Structures are given as C-alpha cells and as structure tokens.
A and B are shown apart, each in its own frame.
Chain A
Amino acid sequence: MHKKPLSKQIYDARWCYLFVLPCSILTGMFVIYPIGMSWYFSLLDWSGFTKEAKFIGLQNYYEAVNDEFFWDAFIRSFIFMFGTVPVKIVLGFIIAVFLNNQVLKLAPFFRTVIFMPVVTAIAIIGIVMTFVFSPFNGPANKFLMSTNLTSAPIDFLGNPDTVLPTVMGVYVWKWLGITMMYWLAALQTVPQDVYDAAKIDGAEGYRLWIHIILPIVLPFAIVIILVEAVGALNVFPLIETMTAGGPFFSSEVMEIYIFRTAFVTDSGTMPRLGYACAAGVFWGVAVLFITVLQGLWMRRTRRI
C-alpha cells in the first residue's frame, strides 16, 4: 500500500482543519499578529494616536540602547528575577516537604491558606500593600514599632533603598503558593514507602533524601526554575499598582519602562508607541534568549 497523495490526505482531514480554525484565528489575531506588528512598529516614529508615522529604521533601537533609564530598568528586571526565584524555589520546597507529610492532619488547611494570595487579583494586592506598608500608621510599621523592632516608621515604598526589596517580598508572598503546588506535584511522584523508610531510619533518612528522593524530583526542579524565571520577568501589575516604578524610577522594571514610554505622558511629552515597541522587542528577544539557554541546559541535565 502506498501513501495517499497530499491532496487526498488534506481532504480526508477537512474536519480537523475546521476544528483547529477558531483557536488558530484567535491566537493569530492576539498573539502571532501582534508579535509581527511590534517588530514593524519598532521601526516607526509614531505616537500611536495619530495616523502620521514615519519610517526611521533602527533609530528607536539606537536611542534605547543609549538611554540609561532603559538599561537601569533592564538590569532591575534581572535583579528582580535573581532575587525572587531562588527564595521561592527553596521556601516552596521546604513548605511542600512539610505539607506532603500525611501525618500532618492540618496539611490541606495550610495548603489552602498559603495558596490564597495566588487567587487574589494582583492589582488589588498591589493597592492593599501600599496601605500595609504605609509609613503613616500602616499595619507593617505598627507591628514593627509595637514589638520595638524599629523606633521610627520605615517608608518602605518611598525610599529608593527599600522599595525594590519590599516589592520583591510581596511578589514572593503572592506567588509562593504556586511554587509549593509545583513541588507537591513533584514530591507526590515519589512512592510513599520511600518516605516511610526515610522517617523510620532517622539519620539514614537524610541519605535516602539525598540519594533517592532528590534525584527523582530533580527533573521537576528544572522545569519549575524555568517557569518561575519567566514568571519573575512579568511583574507589571504588581509594580504598577504598588509604586508605578517610583520613587525616582528606583523600582522601574522593563515592563513599567515600556508602559511609561508608550502610554504615560509625563509633562507634555507625546507618547511614543514606536519607541516603546523597540524597547519591547529588545526585551522580548532577551527573554527568549534566556529561555532558549535554559532549555538547552535543561536538555543537557536530563541526558546525564
């Protein structure tokens, strides 16, 4: 029997094509097309609100790489990533190990509580946190002062030195529930008798953890790190609602920079969609580059 001709194959699969069509159209309109267009927009001198757009080649890119605010935001995004991801991975693992223990009767309750911030709207969290960390009688300062940990209120979000660590802390709090769930999924792939053995053996138990349990969950760890790393670069809603990049741009990450140049008109300057797109493309390529690097590293580690 020989292979059917292509036209016949396509005709036979006509229903398949019809079925993939709706989703493909949506993805095409709102994901694929925008990716292509942002490349094109990035070559224009265009405010976004008028029809006038001038083709200026790579000039936007040239301007971006020469803007120190651009590089500050670029680096800050990575500081944010390297500051939050390891904390989330380690803390999430520790909590998951405790909660994976079936003897702990209240584990489902604790899991629910820790997951609660994850389902809470991120913009609301950002706004509420501006209350919580307010230097004027905010609960965080009230607590610190009533326990005598500080004598004067700390302006967590108003001081360029404390703002980024504070936002990073809130980010970890908001999303730790997801990391915990990832780890729980990983730990549940280990057979129960391995845990039982680890429990009874005492000192031997630690060796079981290192030689048996960790190798089983390691492949998961790599996926978790990848997902978490990309996630930590998408922090627009939290930072926009908490600080809008301030004070004095000291918490401005890449996405805030793009939003600011595209839509926020400070003191009479025109918004510049073309320029914002160039910054966005540059950023997108950088993220993609990191993702690919991590993907390669993932494959190598899995082979070993």
Chain B
Amino acid sequence: MDEENSKNMSRYLNFIAEKNQVKYLIITIAFIIFSFFWIYPLLWVLSASFKTDFEIWGGLGLIPDRLVWENFERAWFGANMGRYFFNTLIITVVSVIIVVVTTGMFGYVIGRYSFPGKKILIGILISTIFIPQGYTIIPVFDLLNNLNISKNLIGLTLATAGHTPVIYILLFAGYFSRVPVELEEAAKMDGAGFVRTFISIMLPLTKPVVATVSILQVLHAWNDFLLPVVITLGNPDIRTLSVGVYAFKGEYFVDWSGMAAASVITILPIIILFLFMQKYFVEGVQGAVKG
C-alpha cells in the first residue's frame, strides 16, 4: 500500500515537473518577445546613428545598408559633442570623488560615533530627502552667479556634487556601523590617530559601498538635465552631453542621423558601464527600500 502510494507520488511529481517545463518555455518565449519590444527604441537609435536620413524614415528594419560613420563625425566635431563629452566626463569624475570622500567621512562619523548635535544633523539630512530639484534650482543658479563660478565647470561640478542624495550617507553609515569595534581598538593600540584609522583601516573595508556610491553618482552626474540646462543657459561652452543633444535638436532640426549619433555618444558609455558593473547598480537601487 505504501509502495503504491510513493509510486503515485513520484509519478505526480514527474507530471508537475514536466508541466512546469512547458510553462517555463512559454514564459521564456513571451519574455523574449517582450524584451525585444522593450529595447526596440534603444536599438532603433543605435541603428539610426549608422543610417542616412533617408533610410531612417524608410522602414522599421534595424540593420543599416552600410555604416555611415560620418554621422558620428558630424556630431562629434560639427555639433561640438566632443567638447561636451569631456565636459561631462570632468564633471562626472570630479563630482564622484567629492561625493565619495565627503559622504564617506560623514557616514563614518554618523555610523560609529555619538557626539553632541548628531541627532539634529541626521534630522536635517532626512528632511531634505524629498526636496524636489526644481525647488532649489533658482537659488542655486543665483548662488553660482554671486560666487562668480557659473561660467566655468567648477560651479556646475560643485552643484552636481552638492545635491547629494542622503542615501549615500545612509549606505556608508550602515556599513561602517557593522565593522567590529576590535579593529578600531587594535588600531588605537598601535597608536593610529582618528584620521589614520579611517584611511588605513576603515576605508579599505568599504570598497563595495564606495563602488555602489560611485556608480550611483556616475549615473546621476552623467544623466542630469535640469541643473546643467539652467546653469549653461548663457554658456554653450560648458554644456553637458544631455544639454548638447537638446540644443542640437533646436539648432540642426533636420539632421536626424547626426542627432541619433549624438544620442549614442551620450548613452553608450553608461550602458557599457552598467553591463559590466551591474551588481553595484542593483545594490545601490535596492538600498533605497532595504534601509
């Protein structure tokens, strides 16, 4: 009787497994079709950047007849995307360094020490979480003007770094607070001071957080639009890529293929970075709801 039962049971499990395999095949195929439509717009720009204007509006096909590299030449030199590329690169790299150093220091102290005024400091920070960028943009513009740094990259870089999401600090603070106290005490026994303990003991331990925060800030700085569009309103020389493509649309309205090439120049570096460092992107994004 028991044998009969277990036989039935195993037959039942096989049946379920087979049924599931068919189910997963269907789900997989459905997702493949869905994925294609999902990234079609991105594939479309990529293919348009290699086509002639005439071919772009000719059909839905993605494979160009021949690769028109001149589109990139026109965008890079003619529309100044080359210059905007380096502007964006400088702003991104410098703001990442500023953000990692300042939020790392802040997070370290908040995560491991208690001192008078700590609660007030945290309270102020938390209260700024939901301040929309649009709310602060006009005074920021005015401030940079008054400091005389609105006409070069310094102002734009500082402002990009200054609009720091509180999440970076929380990520650092959370990580530092989990480092065992013994490590710190050992460092103290060796005669290491506050700063040396931080630099030689603590900072190397937080590489994963440094990576996550860096990636999030790269994403923010590279793709930001409202701040650079306002700051560069009267200064085309310090435009970023996003603003450059937007201006391109206004100035060379008929050069579709050139604009597609400019768009690809803007989005490709970040997409490549994302494909290689996906893990850190995911951790950064999920940190917002896990905390």
The answer to whether B163 and A22 have CB atoms under 8 Å apart is no
The answer to whether B57 and A128 have CB atoms under 8 Å apart is no
Interface residues of A in 161-216 (CB under 8 A from B): 173, 178, 181-182, 184-186, 199-200
Q: Which of the segments B69-77, B177-185, B203-211, B267-275 contacts the partner chain?
A: B267-275
Q: Which residues of A contact B274 (CB under 8 A)?
A: 115-116, 119
The yes or no answer to A33 lying at the interface (CB within 8 A) is yes
Residue of B121, B133, B139, B164 near A37 (CB, 8 A) is: B139
Q: Which residues of A contact B60 (CB under 8 A)?
A: 139, 142-143, 146
The answer to whether A128 and B45 have CB atoms under 8 Å apart is yes
The yes or no answer to A234 lying at the interface (CB within 8 A) is yes
Residue of B39, B139, B243, B285 near A178 (CB, 8 A) is: B285
The answer to whether A284 and B132 have CB atoms under 8 Å apart is yes
The yes or no answer to A280 lying at the interface (CB within 8 A) is yes
> What string of 1s and 0s marks CB contacts (under 8 Å) between A109-149 and chain B?
11011111101111111011111100011010011001000
Residue of B109, B134, B135, B267 near A16 (CB, 8 A) is: B109
Docked Cα-Cα span, A192 to B12, in Å, equals: 22
The yes or no answer to A258 lying at the interface (CB within 8 A) is yes
The answer to whether B242 and A23 have CB atoms under 8 Å apart is no
The yes or no answer to A297 lying at the interface (CB within 8 A) is no
The answer to whether A124 and B194 have CB atoms under 8 Å apart is no
The answer to whether A121 and B162 have CB atoms under 8 Å apart is no
Interface centre among A48, A110, A178 (most CB of B within 10 A): A110
Q: How far is the CB of B255 from chain A (nearest CB, A)?
A: 12
Residue of A127, A236, A254 near B263 (CB, 8 A) is: A127
Docked Cα-Cα span, A186 to B271, in Å, equals: 25
Residue of A113, A234, A273 near B132 (CB, 8 A) is: A234
The answer to whether B133 and A23 have CB atoms under 8 Å apart is no
Interface residues of B in 131-183 (CB under 8 A from A): 131-143, 158-159, 161-164, 169
Q: How far is the CB of A120 from chain B (nearest CB, A)?
A: 5
Residue of B42, B259, B273 near A116 (CB, 8 A) is: B42
Q: How many residues of B contact A (CB 8 A)?
A: 94
Q: How large is the interface on A (under 10, 10 to 19, 20 to 34, 35 or more residues)?
A: 35 or more
Q: Which residues of B contact A139 (CB under 8 A)?
A: 40-41, 44, 60
Residue of A103, A123, A131, A273 near B242 (CB, 8 A) is: A123
Q: Which residues of B contact A16 (CB under 8 A)?
A: 109, 113, 115, 118
Docked Cα-Cα span, A233 to B132, in Å, equals: 8
The answer to whether B138 and A262 have CB atoms under 8 Å apart is yes
Residue of A nearest to B241 (CB): A121
The answer to whether B103 and A23 have CB atoms under 8 Å apart is yes
The yes or no answer to B52 lying at the interface (CB within 8 A) is no
Interface residues of B in 245-291 (CB under 8 A from A): 245-246, 249, 256, 259-260, 263, 266-267, 270-271, 273-275, 278, 281-282, 285-286, 288-290
Docked Cα-Cα span, A6 to B117, in Å, equals: 11
The answer to whether B134 and A234 have CB atoms under 8 Å apart is yes
The yes or no answer to A38 lying at the interface (CB within 8 A) is yes
Docked Cα-Cα span, A288 to B126, in Å, equals: 13
The answer to whether B225 and A9 have CB atoms under 8 Å apart is no
Main secondary structure of the interface of B (DSSP, over half): helix
A35 with B41, Cβ < 8 A, contacts A22-B102, A181-B282 known: no
Docked Cα-Cα span, A200 to B10, in Å, equals: 12
Q: Which of the segments A55-63, A151-159, A223-231 contacts the partner chain?
A: A223-231
Q: How far is the CB of A21 from chain B (nearest CB, A)?
A: 8
Residue of B162, B194, B271, B288 near A182 (CB, 8 A) is: B288
Residue of B20, B225, B256 near A123 (CB, 8 A) is: B225
The yes or no answer to B98 lying at the interface (CB within 8 A) is yes
The answer to whether B135 and A38 have CB atoms under 8 Å apart is yes
The yes or no answer to A32 lying at the interface (CB within 8 A) is yes
The answer to whether A113 and B134 have CB atoms under 8 Å apart is no
The yes or no answer to B50 lying at the interface (CB within 8 A) is no
The yes or no answer to B28 lying at the interface (CB within 8 A) is yes
Residue of B31, B136, B142 near A35 (CB, 8 A) is: B136
Q: Which residues of B contact A254 (CB under 8 A)?
A: 134
The yes or no answer to A287 lying at the interface (CB within 8 A) is yes
Docked Cα-Cα span, A241 to B222, in Å, equals: 16
The answer to whether A48 and B285 have CB atoms under 8 Å apart is no
The yes or no answer to A78 lying at the interface (CB within 8 A) is no
The answer to whether A258 and B134 have CB atoms under 8 Å apart is yes
Q: How far is the CB of B168 from chain A (nearest CB, A)?
A: 9
A182 with B226, Cβ < 8 A, contacts A23-B106, A34-B139, A121-B241 known: no
The yes or no answer to A304 lying at the interface (CB within 8 A) is no
Interface centre among B243, B246, B271 (most CB of A within 10 A): B246
The answer to whether A127 and B222 have CB atoms under 8 Å apart is no
Apart from A20-B121, A128-B260, A136-B57, what 4 extra A-B contacts exist at CB < 8 Å?
A19-B108, A33-B139, A220-B289, A283-B135
Chain A residues within 8 Å of B, Cβ to Cβ: 6, 9-10, 12-13, 15-17, 19-20, 22-24, 26-27, 29-35, 37-38, 41, 48, 98, 101, 103-106, 109-110, 112-117, 119-125, 127-132, 136-137, 139, 142-143, 146, 173, 178, 181-182, 184-186, 199-200, 220, 223-224, 227, 230, 233-234, 236-237, 240-241, 254-255, 258-259, 262-263, 273, 276-277, 280-281, 283-284, 287-288, 291
Lowest 3 CB-CB distances: which A-B pairs, in order? A30-B162, A13-B115, A34-B139
27 contacts between A and B (CB under 8 A): A10-B115, A22-B106, A26-B102, A27-B164, A31-B136, A32-B128, A33-B139, A38-B136, A38-B139, A110-B35, A116-B271, A117-B39, A120-B270, A120-B271, A182-B289, A184-B286, A186-B289, A227-B288, A230-B132, A236-B134, A241-B246, A254-B134, A263-B230, A263-B233, A276-B138, A277-B139, A280-B134
